[in-house]
Structure formats: C-alpha cells, structure tokens
Structure 1
C-alpha cells in the first residue's frame, strides 16, 4: 500500500490532528477576541488621521485670522498664569501650533485642595488662539479624536491597556495558526476568490485573501501592540529583579531624563527661556512639538524642548536648558541617543504610519479597514458553520451574533453618530464631550441588542450600513450649513484637513451605498435559492 492510499484511509494522522486542532483554536480565538479586535483596528484606522479629525472638529468653530500678527508666547503664557491658580511646584506644558492645528494648547497643574496635597491636582487644558491669545475652549470640550484614540489603545477602561496587550497576544497566535493552517496553499491560492461558488466559499476566500495580503501589516501591528501595551510588565520585572527597585536608574538607562530640582524661591525673569524657544523655532531641520517649564519664574527654572528632527527618519530630539544661564544641561539627538528609546520611536513611527506623508496613512487606513472586513467575514463563517450543528443552541448563536455582528456594525454606526454630535453640539455647552460619548455608547449598545432579535445577518448589516450612511450625509450637510464660510476661509489659509475629512466621509458614503446594494442583491439571491422548487427528473 502506497503512502497516498494510507493517508487517505487514515484521515486522523498526527499532522491532520494538528491542523484540525489549530483550525479549531483559530476559530474560537477569532470569535472570542473579534469584537475587541475590530474595535482596536477600527478606532486605529480613524485615528491614523487624528490631527485632521481634531482640526475638522475645532477649526470651523474658532477660525484663526492668519492676517493678524501672532501674539508672543510669553505674553500668552503669563496671561494664563494670572488667570488660574497654577501650582508652581508642578510643571507647565505648552503644545505648539502646527500646519494641522493653529492653536496653542496650554496645560496648567492647578493648586491642590487643602487636605488632598498627596493627590494629583486638576489640570487646566486650554485651547488658545495663537493670534489673539484668547482662550477659545477647553481642550477636552472637543473630545472626538482623543476618545477614538483612547478606544484604540486602552478601550477607555481602567485596565484597558493590559486588555489590549492580551488581545494583541492572542491576535499574534491567530496569525501564526492561520499561517500553519494555510501553509500548503499560501502561494498557490494567494489570489483565489471563487465568485461562482456558494456564499460560504466566497466568505472563506475573502477572509483568506485579505489575511494573506495584509500579513506583514498585521504582524507589525501585533508585535508593536505587544511592545506598547505590555511594556509595563517588562518594566516591573526589570525594576524588581535587575534594578533592585530603583526605577529612576531604569528610566535613566532607557534614555529618559528626569529633573527633580526644587524651587529656591528666588524670582527670575523668564524672557531668556522664550528667546531659546524662538531661536529653536527658526531652525529649518527641527519642528518643535511642545515645551515644558519646570520651576517657572524661579532661579531653578529649567525648560525642556521636544520636537521632530526633520533630517532623519523617526528622530525625536529633546533639549534641557537652565533658564538663568542658558546652559544646555542635557540633550537627546541623533548623535546622543539611547538604543532602547530609538527602537521604541521607530516602532511608534511604523505603528502610526507617521512617515512619508499622508500617502502611507491612506494605505494604512485601507489595510486596517480590510482587516475589519476580514474579522466580520470570519464571524459570519463561524455563525454559518455553528448554526448547522445540532449541539449548538439557538440562544448561543444569538449571543455570538449580537456580540460580533452587532458589535462590529454598531461600532461603525456609533462612530458616525459621534462625528455628527461633534459637529452639531454647540461649543458653548460645557458637557458637550460627555454628550458625544453617551451618544456613541447608546448607539453601540442599541445596535448590539437589536442584533439578538434578527434572523438574517446580512440583511441586518445592510440596515446598519444604511443608518451609518444616513448619519454621515447629515454630518456633511451640517458641516456646510453651519460653517461653509469658515471652511472656505480655512482652505485659503492653508488648513485643508477639514475638507480632507469631508472627502473621506463622502468616499465612505459611496462605499456604504455599494455595500448596501451588494448585500441586498445577495439576500435576494439567497431567498430565490431557498424558495426555488426542486427540478423534476
């Protein structure tokens, strides 16, 4: 008997058992982590354009007249210090304007309440017009970009960072198991998509093709997600076992400079600090992102300047100056950097697509959305397979359908609702960020609950996409009905991200309409197949 015949008669040989077990593990891990994995990739896809979304939300509300001369930074900062009870024992940070954002962001640590000196005090986060110096809003009032970004890396939960790290770990296993499962036909069936086969084969081909084509991208994200979200675990282990509890020594060896000098309570004119900042801003090869003041207004004052070195890939420079003497105390640049810190910056640059311009981020966005589609296809395959098994209860199927299909579709709809709320809620409402978050959560929960009561997954997805398209159309209409003049003015002043976000919304509407038509035609075909009479012999 030859080997081929033997294998045919022994389908449960050890290699087949391994593949079968891997397939079962891949399937269950995928369905368990799919809602959170979809959330991570979906929110990450949107926040690839974090700065553009922030400009879209804020700039039309408070347009900056670029024809006016800019107010000196020192005048702005000291005016804010006079208005708020700043704790001079703490630091003060200023985030600089950029070609995305025409505002200063001033962060002030306020004096702690009596009896709560050991707790971290309240922080005033001010959005300041760079021309007039007027505080136009609190930074947290426009929370859409930050909310979606936090969903991406910590799910807006207290222990969310660790949860995302664990999800990244399981995602890495799902990728590895998928490679082993399809190893033999990885290249032979690379672009196979069977349009003439049944619905399950089409979904399987879609899942596999997207999985193979995005493999380098997904591996990079799984590994970098592990580095970012579980780094605290390695840090604790290093502090305990290698550094004997000396956390400051760990940070120093990792390339993070710490200054803890106390105030000496001797007043100091801070003008030299602003001269250093002005000289640094004039450099063509350096882009300041933020400035941090320690011991402001005291002879022990130190300024920390952070920014991007435009002459090198993924190079963030950092300089510390003593204000009184102008002495350079410490620097981290291309000639003086730490391997650990440099490696982390490279990983961060790759993770966020923050290189080679907007083209790379558009490519990242397309790949991220493709992975979201792959997740939904995998969920539908699992539901189709389990619904045919007699030992699976209908209640279990409904639960998984609500959690996966309803959760994934609900996240898309909830994001559209959040965009609409960010646009139409007046800036004068103090709790506008909370209203936006509540609208997001209510939309998501309602979509998931409704998914428990429907029988057709495809028809329900079509309905969710239809609702999403309708909300996005309302968002575009609100944009131009409320802020048409401001948007045109921003475009002429060079702040074009607002229109860029609107173009992205419009393209998503087009794709949504195409998806609705595709799902509708597939549903009609499915109904025709089920109701067709059997052919006569």
Structure 2
C-alpha cells in the first residue's frame, strides 16, 4: 500500500477514534451494565427484591392504574413479572410525559384495593439504559450515538488496515516496561483484534437502531413521501394478514393468565416480557403480548389478542413474520444478546468492558506518541486530551458508582441528576489539576464510592442481604460482589497513578506539573 494512502488511513483512524472515543467509552461501559438491567432494577427497589413473580399482580396493577388514571385506558403497558424483576411496572403517556408506577407493597397484608407507588423519579436501571443508547441526552442523543457508531466503524476499518502488519506479527505480545507507548499499543491492538467481530456487530446494529428514524425519513423522500403512511403498519405486531374482523364483545377483559394461555395456544414457547393494553374495557379493546421465542436469532415477537375474548388477531414472532420485523428483531437480538442465556450476557458484559478499555488505551497510546520527553511544557492539545480522557472516562466511572450508592441512600433524587453533577464536578476538577493527580483523586473517589455501594446496602438492608443468601439469590449478591471487586481495582490503579505522580518522569502529560 502506498505511504500516502496508509497515512490517510492512520489519520482517519486516529481522529475518528478521538472524536467518537469519549461517547464510545460511556456507551460501552453503560452497555455492559444493561446486560443486567432487570437485576439492577430489582436491587435498587428493596420492596421488589424478594417478591414472588405472579400474574395476578398484572391484573392488580392494571386495576390500580385505571382507578388512579382513567385516561390511561387508551393505551398503557405493564412489564411482565419475571424471576429477574418479579415486581411488575406500569407505564403510560399522559399530559405530555411518561409515567411509571408499581404496586405499593407497604401493606403487608395485601388486603383492600391495590394502590400505586409512583416511580416517576428517573430510576438507576432505566438511566443506565438511556446512557447506553443516547448518553442520557434524549431526543438528539440517540442520533448522536448513531453517528458515533458510524465513526466507530470507520475507526475499526482504518485501524485494521494500518495496524494489521504489526498485529499479525505481535498478536499475542503484551510488553510492559519503560516503553509505555508500545505497551499501550499492544493492549489496544489485542483488545481491538480479539473482539473485532463483536465490535463490528455493535457498530452496524447500533447505527441501524439509532438512525432508524433518519433512514425512514430518507426512504420517505426517495419514495415520494409515500413511505411515511406505511410506517405504523411496519412496526405494528399486526403487520401480517389478520383474520376477519371479529364481532364486538361486551364481556369483561380477560385476566393476564387467560391472555397468556390464549397467546401460547398460538405460540407455545412464548416467554412474555411486557403487555400493552389498547382501549382497555372497550368492546374492541386489544392486548399486545410481547416476549421472546427461544431458538431464534431474533427472539422478540408479539401476539395481538382481543382483550375480551382472547381471539388472536395478528402477530409477529419467530417463524411467522415479515421481512421488516425479521430484520429488526435480528438486529435487536444481536445487539443485546437476547438470543442467548446468562452465559452470553456475561460474555457481552466482559466484551463491553473490553470495549471501554480499548477506547481508554487508544487515548493513552495517542498521548504517549506525542510526548515531548525533554520539554517541561507539553503541547496544549496533548494536555487537553489528557484532561478530557481522565475527566470523561474516570469521571463516568465515578458518576456511575455514586449513582448506584445514591439509588440506595437517596432514592428520591434521580440517577440522571446524580450522575450529571458528579461528571461535571470531575471535569471541573480535571481542568485545574494536573492530569495524573486528577486521575489519582478520581480513582480514589471511585474506589470509595464502590465500597459505599456495599456499605449502604448493608446499612439499609442487612436483612435483605441475609434473605438473599438464604434464598440463594445470587443475582442480587453479585451486584454487591462486583462493587467490592471494582473498589479493589480502582484502589489498585489509584496507587499506580500515585506512584507515577511521585516517582515518574518529570516531563510528559503525566508528570506532576505539565504546564
């Protein structure tokens, strides 16, 4: 390959990585946590920790929502109780915003009419999910992450072209020592190469999902503005040809158990995830039962039934859906690993952390390549990238750790607000502090915050922990164990940063004084 062409690829790889890197770090780290979103949701709500999944709770919650909010009858949904999240959650759109609520279980007797416990304060689990797909910046954050996914694809392709000769030679090399640039390059190349298929899949599926609206808009223009009229049918579970319109039924709506039984007569292996009620109580009311069908790449599907009779009127599920739903379901399944079980989720979790580490090591490699060994004052660009790397990457870790602790100590404060304040404070701290000292400080805070997660859980729910042990509820215990492990890792890296600050070279962006 010509030297000029190779130089162009290297420039493309460097700057696409730098520009998209910070957003990618946040998305990868939050994406790793979303693999256990339901478990986090149960962990942050003590009243939901040891509830037994019951379909009766779906009926009780629906009755409570309709009693307190009659307008929600037009359309509202309920997340189906499961082992990972046994306490169902209702959601509906009213007066310009979304509302969320669960059953109020403070009455231990369970007698009397069911009542609601509002969950309108942004919850930790949902916030982590928003952070993954939109950087918690809706609505434009989703489009931003779509652009970042495209930039990530260019970075991967150009990086493979530029570094392939070296990677093919040193594929298993990881050489620590005085040559830090070579060490970070070995780590960056190993993380990028061994998980390359996963990263390529993430870039393609992430870009597709985030930019679906933009793609639809482009198709609408290309097809003379006729495409928009077809969109509702394309995304509806009734897109397949449905039976003839059924007669009106004035009977009472079926229970959740009866609706599930009717849906499973159509799809025997359906594992429900949520149910959407449309025109609840009306003669032609319907229920859309969404869930997963095992042994398929695109597991997600839905069955639509008459709410008052259980008659199936449409559906989209594995083995019986159109091309649009097949592609969309496959893209979603690949991105979130729904086609596998717990083992695959753990693999995705590790790969997500590796993706964040790849971005971090790429920035460190860039900084080491531009280090002026015999200059007391380093280039301004290098200093700013070092500050941004510490502030965004380590600050994100601190923000998430504090948000987890805050979810137990101060549940009334939204997780988005806690994270935003901590991240902003981290960036301000890095703006006036030498990068290596700022990194040490933030790593110490991250270690303390992770330890605080466990301490808060013990102090506020020791009986819950004991009950989790008695029930062998390892999913809840694993969150506290992971927090302890993270506290140890952050503490160890903080010690390394302290040694670098006190005993390292006096020049470079990681010196005690950089300007």
Tell me if both proteins adopt one fold, taking TM over 0.5 as the criterion: yes
Give the Å deviation of 1:365: 2.0
- Bigger mean CA deviation after superposition, 393-402 or 500-509: 393-402
From 55, 59, 74, the counterpart of 2:59: 74
Change (3 A) 1:281 1:473: farther
Indicate the residue corresponding to 1:125 in structure 2: 100
Cα-to-partner distance string for 1:395-439 (whole Å, 9 max, x where unaligned): 4443322222221111111111111111101x5x4xx21xx3332
Indicate the residue corresponding to 1:208 in structure 2: 189
Indicate the residue corresponding to 1:500 in structure 2: 478
| Structure-1 separation of matches of 2:279 and 2:182 | 66
Give the Å deviation of 1:208: 1.8
Cα-to-partner distance string for 1:152-189 (whole Å, 9 max, x where unaligned): 11122231111111111111111111011012233221
Change (3 A) 1:369 1:253: closer
> Is 1:416 the counterpart of 2:395 in the alignment?
no
Q: Can you give the 5+ residue segments of structure 1 that lack an aligned partner in the other structure?
A: 1-13, 113-120, 260-265, 531-537
RMSD over aligned CA atoms reads: 3.1
From 388, 391, 394, the counterpart of 2:372: 388
SS of equivalent to 1:40: helix
Indicate conservation of the 8 Å contact 2:237/2:304, yes or no.
no
- Bigger mean CA deviation after superposition, 186-195 or 470-479: 186-195
Task: Give the alignment's TM-score, normalised by structure 1.
Answer: 0.82
Change (3 A) 1:142 1:476: farther
Give the Å deviation of 1:476: 0.6
Indicate the residue corresponding to 1:463 in structure 2: 441
Indicate conservation of the 8 Å contact 1:315/1:342, yes or no.
no
Give the Å deviation of 1:250: 4.0
> Is 1:164 the counterpart of 2:139 in the alignment?
no
Q: Can you give the 5+ residue segments of structure 2 that lack an aligned partner in the other structure?
A: 241-247, 509-515
Indicate the residue corresponding to 2:431 in structure 1: 452
Map 1:80-479 to 2 at 5 A: 80-88=65-73, 90-110=74-94, 121-128=96-103, 132=110, 134-135=114-115, 137-141=117-121, 143-157=123-137, 158-242=139-223, 244-253=225-234, 256-257=237-238, 268-272=250-254, 274=256, 276-280=258-262, 285-388=269-372, 394-425=379-410, 427=411, 429=412, 432-433=413-414, 436-455=415-434, 457-479=435-457
Cα-to-partner distance string for 1:459-514 (whole Å, 9 max, x where unaligned): 43233212101111111111011101123324545654221211111221222233
Cα-to-partner distance string for 1:264-284 (whole Å, 9 max, x where unaligned): xx9933243646325258887
SS of equivalent to 2:494: helix
Indicate conservation of the 8 Å contact 1:100/1:495, yes or no.
no
Cα-to-partner distance string for 1:278-297 (whole Å, 9 max, x where unaligned): 52588872221122222211
Change (3 A) 1:99 1:87: closer
Give the Å deviation of 1:386: 3.4
Give the Å deviation of 1:74: 3.4
SS of equivalent to 2:186: helix
